Amino acid sequence: MARTLVLVRHGQSDWNLKNLFTGWRDPDLTPKGVEEARSAGQRLRELNLVFDRAFTSNLSRAQRTLALLTETLGQTDIATERSEALNERDYGDLSGLNKDDARAKWGEEQVHIWRRSYDVPPPGGESLKDTGARVWPYYIHTIQPAVLNGGNVIVAAHGNSLRALVMALEGLTPAQILEAEIATGVPIVYTLNADSTVASKDVLIG
């Protein structure tokens, strides 16, 4: 399977479980998150994919997901690059707050706008558009060439950094990408054409 790009959101983190805004904070995986990462590796193993390159963020929940996944694959020696460009969206002043507490402080409507609008950032943080502004150049200059050279590439990152990637890959509008949900620990397998467009997409739901 040449020109394969696999995207995986990290397994459930401790702060996902506690319903906290996480952003660039660095909680670890929960036991469920560890199992999700291993399960993702098992599903990919069934495809007999051998990866040439791996990319992940500077945050430990994504790095650990990648490590558990590649361990399950029996491919722990994949050349791996870590980059802040793949970090989760920075939630700024919301980081570390319980989502219900944030709604009580700023109101349901305002928190919904911060969470689900395309270009309105929370105080001190990033919008999805801002997140894309660092993800897209990194993808074009670093990840995409590794795929188009005929490689099998895996990216372990976060809900919003991957949402920005999916937007670019699939040519989605801002309205369409806001409706896209990326589940924890579920691999999304793309094959690309030589011109970088998507030839196929498969979501490996367990």
Model pLDDT, residue 190: 98
Gap between the Cα atoms of 124 and 4, Å rounded: 36
Q: Which of 59, 55, 56, 57 is nearest to 15 (CA)?
A: 59
Per-residue model confidence (pLDDT) at position 75? 97
pLDDT at 113: 94
Residue 206's pLDDT is 67
Residue ranges of domains in the chain, CATH in brackets: 4-203 (3.40.50.1240)
CB contact at 8 A, 62 and 81 = no
For residue 9, the model assigns a pLDDT of: 98
Report the catalytic residues: 10, 88
Q: What is the pLDDT at residue 1?
A: 56
Over the chain (206 residues), the average pLDDT of each successive run of 10 is 92 94 95 98 96 98 98 97 98 95 95 94 97 98 97 97 97 93 96 96 90
- Two tokens, residue 92: 């700024």
Sheet of 53-56, strands arranged across? 79-82, 53-56, 152-157, 4-9, 188-192, 198-203
pTM: predicted TM-score of the whole model, two decimal places: 0.96
How crowded is residue 10: how many other Cβ atoms within 10 Å of its Cβ? 31
Q: How far apart are CA 81 and CA 66, in angstroms?
A: 11
- 102: exposed, middle or buried (Cβ count in 10 Å: 0-12, 13-18, 19+): buried
Q: What is the pLDDT of residue 46?
A: 96
What pLDDT score does 60 carry? 97
Q: How far apart are the C-alpha atoms of 12 and 109, rounded to whole Å?
A: 26
Please provide the distance, in angstroms rounded to a whole number, between the alpha carbons at the two ends of the chain: 21
pLDDT of residue 2: 83
Q: What is the pLDDT of residue 131?
A: 98
